[in-house]
Structure 1
């Protein structure tokens, strides 16, 4: 059993930030994968201890693959990886094109853009192949990474699929006033006009730091400000807002998930942020409800009152969410009360993945 009781606190972050920054620069591995002349992909790796099992191509059962959300950087994961460094896991944070330090899609702009959503799936496949990820790996996705993870699970040609999946505030629906089924056909037509396809959406623009008091991503002044302070010293990493084509491609992927006959035959956990104003928590819950008759129905849980950016949230939102996700993937339970301080389960049933939430 893995112990995920210490995932960091705001106090430890304030006190240990120089050490965490040093750890990020010198202890983590920064991979730059050359896919083609125009495409490099970034993977941040927390290596497993020497002679660890379950961290190679033959068996990846102790390997965690993370697919980040939109406009995230490698450095954002430093705090989490710092506190996982003694877990014995191998952790890979995989950045698709246009995200993190992977190649931008538009050579002359830092707009968030993609031409086809399947490119994201192909990027993930390329990174898993390069990093020798084999059977039984665990998959975690945040926001956009949640949608990419589902696209991978149900459409990949990669020889190995994840043993279990945990998605945190996944981007399964938009928060616009018009439903996707009405908005998507219009976008599909308008995106044939190249200038429109490359234009910002109404709220899209170049990166601008929003005062903490005006943000709706995080309740934590410390994590929010450290995150944006990093952009201030690394402006080249500040991704701008999304284009219409990006939104159209994401909506197409969301609608495809509703249409195809995808069936969950692996344990999956969906965590919704209760006060999310970026993606639709309702869409996530409805997606899970739709699949309650699947062989292994997805489990849905809500983190009440949390904003969208769980990784940068206050401890009372961030840590329960991360603990639930990690314990679900590696210890087979989201009931933290069944785990003692060493991370061991006091309930024999907790040793097998939770398969459904009938609520």
Structure 2
């Protein structure tokens, strides 16, 4: 019995050694194929975007993020272009034209070459994380107390690269209708702005002015392309002849409330704007005015009085228009009027997307400041 005990212990040790050996072999077999697949297909497994990836650092050298670029080239070769019938009104425009193509990469535009040279317009698409609320934030550091104002920018192409003027600008607009918030798609806004700026900067302004054609199931933005400028609609094709002067005025306006609410000093600095530069006399025939709005609270009445006095001290001949609702009491209205404001009563309209009792709950009025 005494000799049997060591023999059993030896058998157990041998079994454990064999078990460990088989476990190592099994683990190696499991890991070996996945490593092979990774090394053979690394380019397809690594998801890296030029905008979104963090560049790795190896031996003090930064690796270039070229995977996305290679993938884009491969997808272009594999992608099947959409071939659709060109609009009939294109035949009326003649030949020998310079045709700018915006966001038409997935469209077969070979038939357009009969009418002239097609010029693809390259631009960086806005990030998918760029939302409408970034253009219209709930709070803006107007006084730069925390940091300088951070207003997002929508990427635009380098318009100088496209040489002389274009005869037609064709743009494909994304349309997410009937999804909720389809009208607040930033990519859709970007394509609109590129087409409008291209028409202004590279368009003709004479009697044979540049045409703008949109391909979209949704109607183009009325804020930029008016009903009056719409010449013809044919299926998903929208044909416009915009008035360039008016379109230029629109694209020059601040984009979003963030850029609209900057302080009266240079962007990112604390140098107060020199009001002496404001012209002391208005020689133009057309009437101009300074306009602002007071509603829902009397908190800004004193500031409005000080603003009116400051403007009048510059010698301006522009009108001072103040829009206010019934929340401003009659004594306060009299004080504002005495300060130089011309009072206009408005009916405030609740913003349906604002939270209850938030500061921007009634930021809308029936009066259009920009129209």
| TM-score category (smaller protein) | under 0.3
Larger Rg: 2
Greater relative contact order structure (CA < 8 Å, 6+ sep): 1
TM-score (norm 1): 0.26
TM-score (norm 2): 0.25
